[in-house]
């Protein structure tokens, strides 16, 4: 007997929902500047991390999981499954931390397959229109664009889906709360799996806990706990930040269990680069920003009860770029076919709970300003690792390359370069081949800052994005949002920004500046194309007290343009300290 059409449609609908629900939720947790060694599960006898240790013991641990030496490059690789140099991103500041708009993120790929996507915490892949998380595949974003923020309680640099917000409470708690709200809302209203990216901004500096009138004692108690164990204050602060993360992971794990989501949620936990703590490193050499193991090795724990064996341990060298293909395979999302995906799915290793082979080579590199194949780089095969660790003020010298046998010397103590010249030659040739490939055809420069887009009437320009001219003109970095251009004192000294106006019209221009009383009397010219305004700064209470001034309104056309701030006269030591410029499109 044939079933009625409505009954068949109902069966198909239920079957479809059931199939979608059978796919796991995915929770990616990333910490900021946490070392491989900053966990009890990886052998640290001083730190208290019971919830993370439990996550490690209940899931699969990766003992040779690699990231890049600093944060934004790793985050670009996480989001795209590609080595960051392919994406146009090349730095953590100076406009080099914007991931190319042609890239496709893991959030976009999972969203296409019906996943609800959310990011809570640090983004650091672009702050301007088009580059923000809610424009790169995330349904929900609450966090910050910059590499770090300054206030961890009552944080004042956070945004929600592009709009500034005011907050109360400690940042690690805030981000965890927002993630749990997202998970609850998805379960209650969307009936779909979720991809939740919880990106803690700790234990990155400033190494502080609660500092408010009401909560400072709580933060101090955690720090004092580690001081009593003999840790110096700086190290005690880092350990306390990690323990606070652990407490939040405990809350999150308990919440998933209470909501009946623990069994069908894949949880991956890692750090974005090497660690900054030095009190105990378990024999691992180096720290953040280096290409030694301590700068590029991260913990990775992955748990999915009933699917990945508890207590599994993978010794294969794996990478942050592997998470995108892994998550896509879990979600049934096809990988893009129009570009190179460098990562490989970890799913076979996760299901087996073991394995010693995946990537034949792992590559690490980073330079403060622009990509350089000679300054700070490394390449490893399953046994050997070749390193060129040269800072910006050190001339690279092949005679000082270092070769280590990671199987027999994981602490990188015995340089074997002189003993194995053929291995050195082969590894260096492979690194250069890779570097040439991933940088071919890519332009590394600050993007033209988008201005005048609908829904974003005011755009802020910061000093780090400017090209400076002048013998004494310099960029001073105190912190994101508090950086300045200083020392410009001669006529013609200037700062210039590249812009892209989405719409023409009338734009109001304002600046934030500080000026010593002794320097009053100078004149600034601020021009865009043939349009220009002049400004004579007044004195502020001191050189570190900034006020905002509106210079005027100018008419501009759509398209590319440059904004040039130039000294016309400066009778004192400098014209002023320039903090920021705002362009506001008038109605």
| CA distances to 37, 50, 93, 187 from 239, in Å | 11, 13, 27, 34
What token pair was written down for 467? 């090209």
Q: What is the number of other CB atoms lying within 10 angstroms of the CB of residue 475?
A: 18
* Separation between Cα atoms, residue 352 and residue 195, nearest integer Å: 24
Q: Are 69 and 94 in contact (CB under 8 A)?
A: no
Instruction: Work out the average pLDDT over 316-322.
Output: 98
* Residue with tokens 């929902």, as numbered in its chain: 17
Residue 120: closest CA among 189, 173, 74, 191: 173
Q: What is the pLDDT of residue 92?
A: 95
Q: Which numeric CATH code is attached to 376-439? A: 3.30.1120.10
Give the chain's radius of gyration (CA, Å).
26
Q: What is the pLDDT of residue 16?
A: 39
Question: Does 3 have pLDDT greater than 80?
Answer: no
Q: What is the pLDDT of residues 163-187, one digit of tens each?
A: 999 999 999 999 999 999 999 999 9
Question: Does 14 have pLDDT greater than 50?
Answer: no
Residue 126: closest CA among 137, 115, 112: 137
SS3 call for 364: strand
Ranges of CATH 3.40.720.10 domains, the chain: 23-358
Q: What is the pLDDT of residues 446-463, one digit of tens each?
A: 999 999 999 899 999 999
Q: Residue 427 forms beta bridges with which residues? A: none
Question: Does 398 have pLDDT greater than 70?
Answer: yes
| CA distances to 374, 378, 411, 414 from 423, in Å | 18, 13, 19, 15
Cis link prior to 206 (omega < 30° from 0)?
yes
Ranges of CATH 2.60.120.260 domains, the chain: 449-585
Q: Are 27 and 116 in contact (CB under 8 A)?
A: no
What token pair was written down for 413? 């103590």
Q: What is the pLDDT of residue 1?
A: 42
Q: What is the pLDDT of residues 114-155, one digit of tens each?
A: 999 999 999 999 999 999 999 999 999 999 999 999 999 999
Q: Residue 62 forms beta bridges with which residues? A: 300, 314
Q: Are 491 and 569 in contact (CB under 8 A)?
A: yes
Residues 6+ apart with CB under 8 A from 78: 28, 30, 106, 320, 321, 323, 324
Judging by DSSP bridges, how do beta strands 265-271 and 25-31 pair with one another? parallel
SS3 call for 533: strand
Q: Are 318 and 67 in contact (CB under 8 A)?
A: no
Q: What is the pLDDT of residue 53?
A: 98
Q: What is the pLDDT of residues 57-105, one digit of tens each?
A: 999 999 999 999 999 999 999 999 999 999 999 999 989 999 999 999 9
Q: Are 375 and 401 in contact (CB under 8 A)?
A: no
Q: What is the pLDDT of residue 441?
A: 96
Instruction: Work out the average pLDDT over 236-256.
Output: 98
Whole-number percent of the chain with pLDDT over 90: 94
* CATH architecture observed for domain 23-358: 3-Layer(aba) Sandwich (3.40)
Q: Which residue has the higher pLDDT, 539 or 189?
A: 539
Q: What is the pLDDT of residue 342?
A: 98
User: Nearest 5°: CA angle at 78, between 76 and 79?
Assistant: 65
Instruction: Work out the average pLDDT over 537-545.
Output: 97
Q: Are 510 and 582 in contact (CB under 8 A)?
A: yes
pLDDT band at 21; cut points 50, 70, 90: low
Q: What is the pLDDT of residues 551-574, one digit of tens each?
A: 999 999 999 999 999 999 999 999
* Residue with tokens 């690194």, as numbered in its chain: 431
Least confident of 53-57, 393-397, 517-521: 393-397
Q: Residue 30 forms beta bridges with which residues? A: 199, 270
**Widest CA span in the chain:** 97
3-state secondary structure 273-305: CCCCCCCCCCCCCCCCCCCCHHHHEEEEEEECC
Q: What is the pLDDT of residues 355-385, one digit of tens each?
A: 999 999 999 999 988 999 999 999 999 999 9
Q: What is the pLDDT of residue 393?
A: 80
Whole-number percent of the chain with pLDDT over 70: 96
Query: At 173, which helix (H) or strand (E)?
Result: helix 171-185
> Mean pLDDT score of the chain, rounded to an integer?
95
Q: What is the pLDDT of residue 560?
A: 98
Class of domain 449-585: mainly beta
pLDDT band at 392; cut points 50, 70, 90: confident
CB-based burial label for 101 (10 Å; 0-12, 13-18, 19+) = middle
Residues 6+ apart with CB under 8 A from 11: 3
Residues 6+ apart with CB under 8 A from 403: 384, 385, 386, 387, 415, 416, 417, 419, 420, 423, 424, 427
* Separation between Cα atoms, residue 532 and residue 516, nearest integer Å: 25
pLDDT band at 2; cut points 50, 70, 90: very low
Q: What is the pLDDT of residues 459-508, one digit of tens each?
A: 999 999 999 999 999 999 989 999 999 999 999 999 999 999 999 999 99
* Separation between Cα atoms, residue 459 and residue 561, nearest integer Å: 15
Ranges of CATH 3.30.1120.10 domains, the chain: 376-439
């Amino acid at each position: 007997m044939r079933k009625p059409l409505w009954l068949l449609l109902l069966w198909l609908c239920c079957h479809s929902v059931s199939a979608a629900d059978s796919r796991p939720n995915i929770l990616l947790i990333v910490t900021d500047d946490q070392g491989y060694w900053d966990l009890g599960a990886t052998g640290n006898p001083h730190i208290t991390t019971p919830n993370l240790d439990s996550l490690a013991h209940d899931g699969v641990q990766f003992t040779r999981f690699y990231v890049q030496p600093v944060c934004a490059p790793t985050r670009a690789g996480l989001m795209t499954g590609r080595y960051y140099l392919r994406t146009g991103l090349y730095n953590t500041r100076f406009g080099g931390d914007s991931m190319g708009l042609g890239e496709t993120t893991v959030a976009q790929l999972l969203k296409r397959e019906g996943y609800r996507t959310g990011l809570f915490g640090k983004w650091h892949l672009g702050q301007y229109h088009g580059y923000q998380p809610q424009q790169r595949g995330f349904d929900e974003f609450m966090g910050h664009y910059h590499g770090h923020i300054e206030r961890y309680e009552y944080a004042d640099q956070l945004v929600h889906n592009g709009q500034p917000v005011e907050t109360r409470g400690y940042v690690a708690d805030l981000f965890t709360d927002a993630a749990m709200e997202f998970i609850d809302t998805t379960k209650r209203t969307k009936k779909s799996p979720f991809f939740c990216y919880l990106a803690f901004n700790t234990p990155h500096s400033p190494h502080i806990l609660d500092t408010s009138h009401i909560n400072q004692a709580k933060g101090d108690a955690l720090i004092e706990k580690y001081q009593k164990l003999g840790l110096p204050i700086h190290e005690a602060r880092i350990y306390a930040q990690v323990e606070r993360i652990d407490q939040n992971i405990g809350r999150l794990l308990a919440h998933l269990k209470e909501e009946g989501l623990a069994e069908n949620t894949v949880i991956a936990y890692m750090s974005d680069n090497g660690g900054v703590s030095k009190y105990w490193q378990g024999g691992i050499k180096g720290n953040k920003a280096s290409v030694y193991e301590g700068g590029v090795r991260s913990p990775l724990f992955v748990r999915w009860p009933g699917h990945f064996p508890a207590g599994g341990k993978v010794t294969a060298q794996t990478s942050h770029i592997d998470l995108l293909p892994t998550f896509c395979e879990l979600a049934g999302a096809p990988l893009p076919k129009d570009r190179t995906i460098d990562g490989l799915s970890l799913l076979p290793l996760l299901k087996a709970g073991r394995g010693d082979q995946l990537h034949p080579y792992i590559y690490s590199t980073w330079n403060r300003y622009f990509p350089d194949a000679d300054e700070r780089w490394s390449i490893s095969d399953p046994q050997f690792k070749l390193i060129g660790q040269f800072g910006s003020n050190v001339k690279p010298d092949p005679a000082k390359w270092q070769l280590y046998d990671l199987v027999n010397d994981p602490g990188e103590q015995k340089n074997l370069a002189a003993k194995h010249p053929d291995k050195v030659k082969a590894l260096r040739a492979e690194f250069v081949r890779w570097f040439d490939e991933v940088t071919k055809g890519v332009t590394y420069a600050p993007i033209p800052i988008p201005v005048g887009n609908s829904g974003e009437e005011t755009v802020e320009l910061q000093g780090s994005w400017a090209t400076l001219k002048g013998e004494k003109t310099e960029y001073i970095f105190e912190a994101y949002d508090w950086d300045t251009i200083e020392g410009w004192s001669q006529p013609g000294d200037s700062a210039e920004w590249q812009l892209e106006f989405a719409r023409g019209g009338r734009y109001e221009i304002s600046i934030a500046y500080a000026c010593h009383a002794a320097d009053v009397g100078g004149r600034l010219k601020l021009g865009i194309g043939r349009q220009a305004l002049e400004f004579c700064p007044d004195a502020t209470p001191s050189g570190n007290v900034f006020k905002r001034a509106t210079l005027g309104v100018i008419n501009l056309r759509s398209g590319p343009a440059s904004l040039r701030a130039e000294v016309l006269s400066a009778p004192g030591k400098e014209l002023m300290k320039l903090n920021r410029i705002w362009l506001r499109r008038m109605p």
